[in-house]
């Protein structure tokens, strides 16, 4: 049998998640564990972890896409005339700006959620495959490497401008 309190809490969760979260925090702080909507609390905590992993994957994918573009896309004039919406070579700074932004956001994310560092390799592998598929669709005339040819550790990816000559 479901208590009236549980029904009220579950209804609150479905009607106004912000109010539900504030109510849940108040109950936790007060030590009122008996009246906590444990089912939804567990669901929300799990979702938080998933969200952090998705953010790393998304930002890493975007970073790799733009690194690939900046390193490998050399736009000849005839290509530019056919597709004038593609960045001109002097506009590579747009890709570089996105690279800097994603690097900064990944760095912040890893500072806030250090345990994501333990998932770096699997996140990188997943992001690499997604990035490669995307840039191959965008630039079918460009030969992209099938595997990342540079260092792939966190520090290297967040610091090295791979497109610059050594």
Query: Where in the chain are the domains?
Result: 1-36, 52-159
Digit-coded pLDDT (tens) for 25-83: 999 999 999 999 999 999 988 888 899 999 999 999 999 999 999 998 875 544 444 54
As to burial, measured by CB atoms within 10 angstroms (0-12 exposed, 13-18 middle, 19+ buried), residue 166 is: exposed
Could you tell me the pLDDT band of residue 4, with boundaries at 50, 70 and 90?
Answer: very low
Beta strand segments in 20-154, E: none
What dihedral angle (degrees, nearest 10) is formed by the CA atoms of 106, 67, 143, 125?
Answer: -10
The HSE-up count of residue 153 (CA atoms within 13 Å, CB side) is 2
Q: pLDDT value at position 92?
A: 77
Tracing tokens 């979702």 back to the chain, one arrives at 47
Q: pLDDT value at position 2?
A: 42
Q: At what angle do helices 92-112 and 38-72 cross, to 10 degrees?
A: 150
Q: pLDDT value at position 1?
A: 39
Digit-coded pLDDT (tens) for 97-145: 999 999 999 999 999 999 999 999 999 999 999 999 999 999 998 899 9
Residue 108 or 6, more confident: 108
- Inter-residue contact 150 to 162 (CB < 8 Å): yes
Q: pLDDT value at position 54?
A: 96
Q: pLDDT value at position 88?
A: 56
Question: What is the C-alpha separation between 103 and 138, in angstroms, rounded?
Answer: 22
């Amino acid at each position: 049998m479901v208590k009236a309190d549980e029904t009220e809490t579950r209804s609150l969760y479905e009607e106004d998640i912000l109010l539900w979260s504030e109510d849940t925090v108040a109950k936790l702080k007060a030590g009122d564990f008996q009246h906590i909507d444990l089912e939804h609390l567990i669901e929300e905590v799990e979702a938080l972890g998933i969200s952090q992993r998705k953010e790393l994957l998304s930002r890493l994918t975007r970073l790799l896409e733009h690194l690939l573009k900046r390193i490998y896309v050399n736009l000849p004039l005839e290509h530019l005339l056919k597709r004038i919406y593609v960045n001109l070579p002097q506009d590579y700074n747009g890709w570089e700006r996105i690279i800097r932004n994603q690097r900064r956001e990944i760095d912040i994310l890893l500072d806030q959620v250090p345990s994501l560092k333990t998932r770096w390799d699997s996140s990188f592998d997943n992001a690499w495959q997604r990035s490669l598929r995307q840039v191959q669709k965008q630039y079918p005339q460009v030969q992209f490497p099938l595997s990342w040819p540079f260092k792939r550790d966190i520090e290297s990816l967040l610091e090295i401008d791979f497109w610059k000559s050594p």
